[in-house]
Amino acid sequence: MDVLFISKHGSMYRYFQYLKKNLNLRSTVCDFTPKFYFKLQAPPLSVGEINTGTEFHLQRKKAKYNFPEWLWWGLEFYYEAKFKFYYRQFSGLIDNYKPRCIALWNGHRLPEQAIKVLALKLNIPVVHFENGLLPDTTTFDICGVNNANSLPRDVQFYREYKNKSTLIGRELVTRKFHRSKKSHAKNKNFYAALPDKYMFVPFQVKFDSQILLNSKNIKSMTDLYQWIQFAEQNSDQPLKFVIKEHPSDPHKYTELYNKNPNIIFSNRNTKELIERADAVITVNSSVGLEAILLHRRVIVLGEACYGIEGLCHPVKTKQQLLEVIDQLSTSELDISLVEKFLAYLQCEYCVPSSWRNPDRKHIDSLVKKFTTILNQNTQIKS
C-alpha cells in the first residue's frame, strides 16, 4: 500500500476519504479505533517514548481543567496505558497494510503520537496535514506543523530565492466565535473606536499546541498581558495596545478588560485591526503570518516558523520587547524580502486550495508531493 490515512471521524476523515478516491494511489483510510488489529509483539517501547507520547495530551488537559493533584496522577497512569494500547492497535494495523507512507492531520493527538513513535521505528515516513499558512491553501509537511515544519529558517535563503511572479490572495480567513462567546462577543464595548496609534495583540487559545509546545516564556494569555503591560509602563513613549481574544477560545478574560486604560479589548475585524496597527505583537499566532501578508511589522515572542530575524522581530525577554518597540519608529519593513518569503510559500511549500474545497490543482500538487516521498523511501530501503 502507498498511503495509510489515519484520522478521527469528522471533517478531516471525510477529506482523507476524498483523497483516497482522487489521488490515484493505493491507499485506505482508518480511524483512531482499529478494533480488529492488535499486536502483542509490537516493537518495544521505552519509558521516554511513553512519556513523550503522553506529555502534550496531559499538558492540554491541565490547561483546560483545574483538577486536584491526586487526580492528575491517576489520569497520567490512565493515559500511559491508553498510549500503549493505541501503540499495539496501530502496530497490528500497520503490519496488516504495510504502508509506504502514513498521513495524519496535525499529529499532536495521543493516537497520532503513538503512530509516529511506531512509524519512526519502522522507518515509515509520516506526512502531516494542516490548515495552510496562506489563505486558501493546505499544509503538507514531512517534518510536522507549526514550528516543527520544514520551512527554512535562514533569512538569506529567502533573500536569494528567485521570486516567481504570482498573485497572492490577501483576504484573511474569518474565524467564528465559540458558541459560548457569541453573545458575549457582540458587546458594544468591543466595537469602540480604535486609538489613532496602537499595537495589535491577538490572544491565542490557552490550551493550543502553539502555547503549550512552542512558547517557553509565555504559558498563558495572562502572561502575554503582563508582557505588554510591562512595555506600556516602562517605555519612554506613550503606548496603546489593542487585544482581540481568540474567537475559538471559550475563556473570557473579564478580569483584564478594564485593568489598564491603555490596553483595550476589541472584537473588530482582524484584518482592520492588523492594517491600522503600527505593529503586531504575537506569541506565535497565525495572525502574525497574516500581518506579514499585509505588510505590517511583527514582533514574535514565542517559537514560530515565520519568526525569522529580518522578516520580523523575534523577542525572548520583556526587556527585549521594550527595546524593539522603542526602535520601531526607526525601522522599516523589507517589503522585497517579505514578498520573496510569501512567494516561496505559495510556489514551493503550500498545497494550493484549502482542504475544505479541494480542486484539480490541489490533487495534482498532492500527487506530486506524495510521489516524491514514496520514491525517496523506496531508494532508502533499496
pLDDT of 26-66, one tens digit each?
A: 999 999 987 777 777 788 999 999 999 999 899 888 888 88
How far apart are alpha carbons 336 and 159 in whole angstroms?
8
The answer on pLDDT for 380 being more than 60 is no
Q: What is the pLDDT, as a whole number, of residue 378?
A: 65
Over residues 358-375, mean pLDDT: 96
Mean pLDDT score of the chain, rounded to an integer?
A: 92
How far apart are alpha carbons 182 and 175 in whole angstroms?
12
How far apart are alpha carbons 198 and 3 in whole angstroms?
49
Over residues 354-363, mean pLDDT: 96
pLDDT of 284-325, one tens digit each?
A: 999 999 999 999 999 999 999 999 999 999 999 999 999 999
Alpha helix ranges (H) inside 201-334: 209-214, 221-234, 270-275, 286-293, 318-327
The answer on pLDDT for 165 being more than 70 is no
Q: What is the pLDDT, as a whole number, of residue 68?
A: 87
From residue 184, alpha-carbon distances to 102, 159, 264 in Å are 42, 45, 16
Contacts of 313 (CB under 8 A, 6+ apart): 297, 298, 299, 300, 324
pLDDT of 92-135, one tens digit each?
A: 999 999 999 999 999 999 999 999 999 999 999 999 999 999 99
pLDDT of 2-16, one tens digit each?
A: 999 999 999 999 999
Over residues 231-244, mean pLDDT: 95
Q: What is the pLDDT, as a whole number, of residue 323?
A: 96
pTM of the model: 0.91
* DSSP-based three-state secondary structure for 79: helix
Please name each of the domains of the chain with its CATH number. Answer: 3-132+350-381 (no CATH), 155-343 (3.40.50.2000)
184 pLDDT band, cuts 50/70/90, is confident
Are the beta carbons of 65 and 250 closer than 8 angstroms? no
Q: What is the pLDDT, as a whole number, of residue 325?
A: 96
Q: What is the DSSP letter of 139?
A: E
381 pLDDT band, cuts 50/70/90, is low
**Which amino acid, 223?**
D
Q: Is 168 left (phi over 0), alpha (psi -120 to 50) or beta?
A: beta
How far apart are alpha carbons 113 and 121 in whole angstroms?
13
Residue 327 C-alpha cell reads as: 526602535
* DSSP-based three-state secondary structure for 314: strand
Q: Is 146 left (phi over 0), alpha (psi -120 to 50) or beta?
A: left
Q: Which residue has the cell 519608529?
A: 329
331 pLDDT band, cuts 50/70/90, is confident
